[in-house]
Amino acid sequence: MADSKTFMLMAALTALFLVVGQLLGGQSGMTMALLFAVGINFWAYWNSDTAVLNMYGARQVGADEAPQLYGIVAELARRGNLPMPRVFIIDDSSPNAFATGRDPEHAAVAATSGLLRILNKEELAGVMAHELAHVKNRDILIGTIAATFAGAITSLTQMAMFSSMFGNRDNNGGGIGGLLMMILAPVAAALIQMAVSRSREYGADEVGAMMCGNPLFLASALNKLEVGSQRVPMQEAEMHPASAHLFIVNPLAPDNLTQLFSTHPPMGERIMRLQQMATKLK
């Protein structure tokens, strides 16, 4: 199921790439976009996790450097019958976390220093369980590839706006069609991300809540993370908004446009679902 979802996502984003190339540069633009897409497909499958971790300056830690975080991840991986993932810390005061990797055997989880500072042990277990649920559900590759493609599509339209990389336009849409695609292509990529991310967040909340043993651990953590991330937006994420959907809570500064294209479900709805789960488990 996960492999089919990944294939469908890569096919959809490749098609979007071709449309952007066609409207911006006609036949030559579409050919260039196809070559670009094929290269990104291959590269993203094998290297997108490393790129995202490097993007945020994540440093790998072991049991000696981060005993509580590493120990919690190790115990949750055992409970979830998962291979032990690599563990990373991002030196950022904004509280957040994400998981990445192409499969459970090559997974990594990352938490910010801000998250480690404000959460207690139970809440940290809830957050890490959520991230390992993404690993268990095999949707971490989907999210990472979506981030890579959306960023590439945005870059493609920006390059077309400020350079003559496509040469003479031979498309029928002309300048108006190209201008529209420069605006609409990143929006379309964001909508694809949003559709993928919102459904998988609910699933990871549910599986993660069961993995850590108490849905209220995660509910309490989400409440703290929403307040903390809004007070201290993640500056690196502001520079790379196409990767925002990877995080457990939206790392971007709150504004109307951010809310309109939010890759995350409403926080109130997520917390309510977890509270309902806790009630049913009593």
Q: Which two tokens stand for residue 67?
A: 């005993």
- Burial of 41: CB neighbours in 10 Å, binned 0-12, 13-18, 19+: middle
Which residues lie below 8 Å from residue 76, measured CB to CB, with a gap of 6+? Answer: 125, 128, 129, 132, 211, 212
d(C-alpha 268, C-alpha 259), whole Å: 14
Q: Which two tokens stand for residue 155?
A: 């870059």
* Residues 89 and 66: beta-carbon distance below 8 Å: yes
Which amino acid is located at 237 in the chain? A
Residue 25's nearest CA partner among 165, 135, 192 is: 165
d(C-alpha 119, C-alpha 192), whole Å: 32
End-to-end CA distance of the chain: 32
The partner residues of 111 in beta bridges, in order of sequence, read: 89, 97
Q: What is the DSSP letter of 247?
A: B
- 226 is an active site residue: no
What is the phi/psi pair of residue 58, to 5°? -70, 140
d(C-alpha 67, C-alpha 89), whole Å: 12
Q: Which of 131, 201, 206, 226 is catalytic?
A: 131
Q: Answer positive or negative: Cα dihedral of 206, 212, 216, 217.
A: negative
Residues in the chain: 282
Alpha carbon 244 to its chain's center: 5
The residues that are catalytic are: 131
